[in-house]
Amino acid sequence: MKDFAGKTAFITGGASGIGYSMAQAFLREGMNVMLSDIEEDALGKAVDRLGATNAQVRTVVCDVAVREAVNEAAARTIEEFGNVHIVCNNAGVGAGGPFGEIDPADWDWTIAVDQWGVVYGIEAFLPHMKAHGEDGHIINTASMAGMVGLPNMSPYCAAKFAVVAMTETLHSELAETNIGVSVLCPGFVRTRIHESGRTRQSKYGGPRERMLEGPDSEEGDVASLVNSGIDPDAVAGRVLECIRDDELYIFTHPDTWEWLSERFGRIESAFKSAAVSPALRGEG
């Protein structure tokens, strides 16, 4: 997708962080933007910052963990702007802890928002995008935690690995169409992911102060890493580059290649071990 002017983008988790920065980037390109978020007050403040008289921006409150809510948000976006061209399944939360100590509700909440929220977003918009036939792009926000498993972050990693896998599958399925697909895998970005428990729905136990522990099992350490991360505006700029270039993987932290190279090295060693396995050769 090369031409953005006059086109429409739908963004979940759009009231702050990466979602808000993507909205700014798309608006600068002359797009219409529907901001979606579970926090109504935050949506109002986001619109105020973007400019209350800006006719290109609309908002819709949406809990991405509820299929019907996402469908309703999609219908409202289409009613408001017509054809939708870019869909950013960006809303995300984080929960973790050591295996055996994780509250089952933490698993349910994280998978519902981070994984099912992406599924619902794709299901809600893909038939519409195929039907109108214009150039489009779907961006699913994962994480480097979707590329490398990290201690004390099992629910978050599991959901983000799923997002990567689903995006790779969708990319293959749409390879012969004019709908691009990308998965965003950032490292630490200055967002409020470590405070995502503030929006936790009642059916998952309600708001919590401490949710994402991270590798060091100390929320303060995770907060420091997040707060010292890169600017979300830089991430949004990278997203635009990758939409234009139709890149499947959107990485924002080149230094984290070391994480992947270590993982790939272990995988390569495992394949080499399998190649000389007596059991596999029927000798065991």
Which amino acids are annotated catalytic? 156
CB 40 within 8 A of CB 92: no
The CA distance from 192 to 201, in Å, is 17
Closest to 193 measured CA to CA, from 62, 91, 77, 41: 91
Is the distance from CB of 135 to CB of 244 less than 8 angstroms? no
What is the C-alpha to C-alpha distance for residues 268 and 272, in angstroms, rounded to an integer? 6
Alpha carbon dihedral 264, 270, 274, 278, in 10-degree steps, equals: 160
Would you say 189 and 233 are in contact if contact means Cβ atoms under 8 Å apart? no
Q: Of 44, 17, 61, 36, which Cα lies nearest the Cα of 192? A: 17
| 174: phi then psi, degrees, rounded to nearest 5 | -105, 15
* Phi and psi at residue 193, to the nearest 5°: -60, -35
* Residue 120 half-sphere exposure toward CB, CA atoms < 13 A: 24
Q: Exposed (0-12), middle (13-18) or buried (19+): which is 179, by Cβ within 10 Å? A: buried
